[in-house]
Amino acid sequence: MTSDTPLPQVDFRTEPAQYQHWRLDIAGPVATLTMDVAEQGGLVPGYELKLNSYDLGVDIELYDAVQRLRFEHPEVRVVVLTSGKDKVFSAGANIRMLAAAPHPWKVNFCKFTNETRNGIEDATACSGQTYLAALNGTASGGGYELALACEHIMLVDDRSSTVSLPELPLLGVLPGTGGLTRVTDKRHVRRDLADYFATKSEGIGGKKAVAWRLVDEAVPRGQWAGIVAQRAGELAGRSARPADAAGIQLTPLAKTRTASEISYTHVRARLDRDRGVAEITVRGPDGGPDGTAPARIEQVHEQGAGFWTLAMTRELDDLILDLRTNELELGTWVLRTEGDAEQVLAFDQMLLNHRDDWLATEILLYLKRTLKRLDVTSRSLLALIEPGSCFAGSLLELALAADRSYMLAGVFEEIDPDAAPAAIEIGPASLGPLPMGNGLTRLQTRFLGDPDALATAEKRAGEPLTAEDAERLGLVTFAPDDIDWDEEVRIAVEERASFSPDALTGLEANYRFAGPETLETKIFGRLTAWQNWIFYRPNASGPDGALRRYGTGQRADFDRKRV
């Protein structure tokens, strides 16, 4: 990979039979996910993935494995993350790949890997699948950051294995996948020790790593297998996962991709390169064979990956990743829905009525994570709410995630004067189960500091709301009528395309996360911004920068001015 290497179109779909870099072994409640990266298996030519270093392709498999464990293996209660190499757990993100990658590739790569690590924490916190990092060798940089996403970190105590964050001293960049935030805010390493740690490229092992809280235990190699198995058993015992549940298959996604359209069963996107816009439409449930939402939870299990909410979420998830990675110049995403709002609400209700069912819970959690992925996507999001749409319940979240929403007051007189005017409806899905990264619902974030407006809006839950009502309640941004609609929407889209893409990214990143901060918002809001800046500066990425000079034997030549 060099800056001139044409970047491949990345496909995020995979399955265990295709894995090149990971092995997934399941023994009852304990799954072992073994990282054994194929050196020659890079996604892009030009680098070798030595020492379990990784690139986007390795992380795509990890993401797939984490997802499949949740849906296909409900019996799994603990996931042991370990290495198939002899003396190394993982050397982190591949440096040559990073050094040669264009700026957007670096940033996208970091964002996706961050989301996967957040997903690991979500599995531990919400799904009863606890991740245990069994570091059977040195974990550096992103390798240690992967361990930091696990609930319990074990490090082999052999006088040579360490954990480290060598990015700053060796590469002149920051640890890019949440390491700085998790060290202080999650593991509560004292900030001055954390400072020392992040400047010591050889890392820290053994008892000192435990004393500094960098790992939870250091285990002699002789006792390693036994104690790892023991810990796995202990963590499995904490889980409330059902022992006898049968998973569902995440069957291959049906996807068609042309130069101008990406389409799935329930989701499609028209790619308008001239205007820099992706027009995304999410279709509500078709209602299944009998025309309605399933009445019994058993039917949800039977439908499995075909159950509308899950199918739509998988498609939306894949679309977001595809557009983010492969379509950098489509800067505005226009979000529409179409279908029957009652059906959307019925599917929501089915899931919400069965929060004790592992699959219903998993589907909601996956939808939560996918909406969060939308929240942190560096594209302008405009929701258009028109007759025939179904922004109700869980799909209302799409409009609430948007930077702006336009809702037609009345109907398009020339197109369909007899249509029912658009309506939106707050359902129970908007009142708690799908929080944003800041821990608040999208409604709470929208009405931050205005509890009266929030209460007034929430009181109207369960009621279809007209454009006039929705605007008055503050649930949509603008409600133009037929006469003004085309002009207002056109201007909004054209204006967006005329602005600095960088400034829009910064603006949206600031506005989307008002209110309280969490580990997640700090990672995406603060850490990512610093990393982007550092990545872009010549001290890292210039020809004499640390990232480019790494491994050449030459030291970086820094502009020493502090900014």
User: Which 403-422 residues touch a second copy, going by CB under 8 A?
Assistant: 403-405
Count CA atoms within 13 Å of residue 128 on its CB side.
21
- Confirm or reject binding of residue 321 to a second copy (CB under 8 A): no
From the list 436, 433, 371, the residue with the least C-alpha distance to 398 is 371
The DSSP result for 313-345, as a single string, is: HHHHHHHHHHHHHH-TT--EEEEEEES-HHHHH
Stretch that binds a second copy, among 87-95, 124-132, 302-310, 441-449 (CB under 8 A): 441-449
Q: What residues numbered 76-115 form the site for a second copy, per CB under 8 A?
A: 103-104, 107-108
- Confirm or reject binding of residue 563 to a second copy (CB under 8 A): yes
* Cα separation, 266 vs 337, whole angstroms: 10
- Confirm or reject binding of residue 446 to a second copy (CB under 8 A): yes
In 3-state terms, what secondary structure has residue 32?
A: strand
Q: Considering the complex, what minimum distance in angstroms separates the CB of residue 146 from a second copy?
A: 19
Q: Which of 230, 530, 551, 554 binds a second copy (CB under 8 A)?
A: 530
- Confirm or reject binding of residue 499 to a second copy (CB under 8 A): yes
* Cα separation, 419 vs 423, whole angstroms: 12
Q: What residues numbered 5-64 form the site for a second copy, per CB under 8 A?
A: none
Strand arrangement of the beta sheet that strand 256-257 belongs to: 256-257, 261-263, 267-272, 277-283, 332-338, 380-385, 404-407
Task: Pick the closer one to a second copy by CB: 248 or 320.
Answer: 320
Q: Which of 9, 46, 196, 417 binds a second copy (CB under 8 A)?
A: 196
Q: What single DSSP character describes residue 275?
A: T
- Confirm or reject binding of residue 511 to a second copy (CB under 8 A): yes
Q: Which of 7, 227, 448, 461 binds a second copy (CB under 8 A)?
A: 448
Stretch that binds a second copy, among 235-243, 279-287, 334-342, 443-451 (CB under 8 A): 443-451
Stretch that binds a second copy, among 60-68, 117-125, 168-176, 429-437 (CB under 8 A): 168-176
From the list 439, 425, 399, 417, the residue with the least C-alpha distance to 522 is 439
- Confirm or reject binding of residue 505 to a second copy (CB under 8 A): yes
Q: Count residues near a second copy (CB under 8 A).
A: 88
- Confirm or reject binding of residue 533 to a second copy (CB under 8 A): yes
- Confirm or reject binding of residue 210 to a second copy (CB under 8 A): no
What lies within 8 Å, CB to CB, of 459 at 6+ separation is none
Dihedral (CA of 8, 13, 16, 17) sign = negative
Task: Pick the closer one to a second copy by CB: 101 or 365.
Answer: 101
- Confirm or reject binding of residue 164 to a second copy (CB under 8 A): no
Tell me how far CA of residue 83 lies from CA of 51, 142, 449, in angstroms.
Answer: 10, 14, 47
- Confirm or reject binding of residue 534 to a second copy (CB under 8 A): yes
Stretch that binds a second copy, among 9-17, 251-259, 353-361, 510-518 (CB under 8 A): 510-518
What lies within 8 Å, CB to CB, of 373 at 6+ separation is 115, 317, 320, 321
Stretch that binds a second copy, among 26-34, 154-162, 184-192, 344-352 (CB under 8 A): 184-192
381: its two tokens: 């999001």
142: its two tokens: 């992103």
- Confirm or reject binding of residue 452 to a second copy (CB under 8 A): no
Task: Pick the closer one to a second copy by CB: 29 or 172.
Answer: 172
Strand pairing report for 130-135 and 152-157: parallel
- Confirm or reject binding of residue 544 to a second copy (CB under 8 A): no
Q: What single DSSP character describes residue 7?
A: P
Q: What residues numbered 350-409 form the site for a second copy, per CB under 8 A?
A: 378-379, 402-405
Strand pairing report for 163-164 and 130-135: unpaired
Q: Which three-class secondary structure string do you get for 504-526?
A: HHHHHHHHCCCCCCCHHHHHHHH
Per-residue x/- track, 224-253, a second copy (CB under 8 A):
------------------------------
Q: Considering the complex, what minimum distance in angstroms separates the CB of residue 489 from a second copy?
A: 13
In 3-state terms, what secondary structure has residue 135?
A: strand
Task: Pick the closer one to a second copy by CB: 413 or 494.
Answer: 494
| One-letter amino acid for residue 169 of the chain | P
- Confirm or reject binding of residue 520 to a second copy (CB under 8 A): no
